[in-house]
């Protein structure tokens, strides 16, 4: 990893993408430690966190996190998500933050030396190309160790540096989680005496 202590760095965290990748890798993110990790490497000017939230009266499990981020060094960018029912009748939530992230990175480009993007979305490839032309070095944090890989090849190739999320997870892991599917129950073991008795009955 190449970081310089005096370079002006900005984090752009696609919240949904980081959540999916970390869960797939089996850990929860400690956002305080994440910010400390990058501050130990460079001069972090801003840390953006992007998330679409449901605009309902119901309690959202995301609210404690977003409230905490606001008061602990992050710039929170949100917008209302939309609920819909898919073809199978399941409730889904849609909220794309690509435009908000792209606008912020373009606005920050003249003020920073290094942009670190937490996302695997190949739609950001053109964005990285644009800020690179302005002299900004780019790093993408994602994972090719998940199944399926949660980063597009085009995005990974465009970045000046790719960091595998699993390789740095220990620096900001809150706790490990077991996200493996439960094992199917083992077939019952039959006692030889039971088999003999059944044979005798025949």
1 belongs to a structural domain:
no
Query: What per-residue confidence (pLDDT) applies to 63?
Result: 80
Contact 74, 49 (CB under 8 A): yes
Q: How far apart are CA 81 and CA 52, in angstroms?
A: 5
How many structural domains is the chain composed of?
1
Q: Is residue 190 part of a domain?
A: no
The string of DSSP letters for 27-60 reads EEE-HHHHHHHHHTTSEEEEEEEEEEEE-SSS--
pLDDT per residue, tens digit, the chain (202 aa), is 789 999 999 999 999 999 999 999 999 999 999 999 999 999 999 999 999 877 665 656 678 898 899 999 999 998 877 666 767 776 655 668 899 999 999 999 999 999 999 999 999 999 999 999 999 999 999 999 998 899 999 999 999 999 999 999 999 998 787 655 445 555 554 554 454 444 454 4
Q: Do 143 and 21 meet the contact criterion of CB atoms below 8 Å apart?
A: yes
Write down the pLDDT at residue 197.
46
Tell me, yes or no, whether 65 lies in a domain. yes
Q: What are phi and psi of 87, to 5 degrees?
A: -65, -25
Tokens standing for residue 178? 């077991």
What is the predicted pLDDT for the residue at 94? 60
Distances from the Cα of 175 to the Cαs of 4, 22, 29, in angstroms?
29, 11, 8
Domain membership of residue 96 (yes or no) is: yes
pLDDT attached to residue 83: 66
**CATH no. for residue 165?**
3.40.50.1010
* Residue 50 included in any domain: yes
Is the Cβ–Cβ distance between 50 and 13 less than 8 Å?
yes
Buried b (16+ CB within 10 A) or exposed e, 135-173: ebbbbbbbbbebeeebbbeebbebbeebbebbeebeebb
**Residue 122, phi-psi category: left (phi > 0), alpha (psi -120 to 50), beta (remainder):** alpha
Instruction: Report the pLDDT value the prediction gives residue 89, as an integer from 0 to 100.
Output: 73
- What pLDDT was estimated at residue 112? 98
User: Quick one: pLDDT at residue 29?
Assistant: 96
pLDDT of residue 195: 47
Residue 112 lies in a domain: yes
Q: Which domain holds residue 174?
A: 8-182
Q: Is residue 191 part of a domain?
A: no
Domain contains 120: yes
């Amino acid at each position: 990893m190449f970081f310089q202590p005096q370079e002006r760095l900005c984090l752009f965290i696609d919240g949904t993408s980081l959540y999916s990748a970390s869960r797939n890798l089996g850990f929860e993110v400690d956002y305080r430690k994440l910010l400390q990790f990058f501050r130990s490497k460079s001069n972090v000017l801003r840390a953006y966190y992007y998330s679409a939230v449901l605009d309902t009266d119901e309690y959202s499990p995301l609210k404690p996190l977003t409230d905490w981020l606001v008061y602990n060094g992050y710039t929170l960018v949100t917008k209302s998500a939309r609920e819909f029912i898919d073809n199978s009748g399941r409730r889904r939530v849609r909220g794309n933050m690509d435009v908000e992230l792209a606008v912020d990175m373009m606005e920050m480009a003249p003020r920073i030396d290094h942009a670190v993007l937490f996302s695997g979305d190949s739609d950001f490839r053109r964005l990285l190309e644009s800020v690179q032309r302005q002299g900004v070095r780019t790093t993408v944090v994602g994972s090719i160790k998940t199944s399926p890989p949660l980063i597009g090849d085009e995005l990974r190739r465009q970045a000046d540096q790719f960091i595998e999320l699993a390789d740095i997870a220990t620096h900001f892991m809150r706790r490990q989680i077991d996200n493996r599917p439960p094992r199917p129950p083992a077939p019952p073991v039959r006692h030889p005496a039971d088999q003999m008795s059944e044979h005798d009955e025949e």
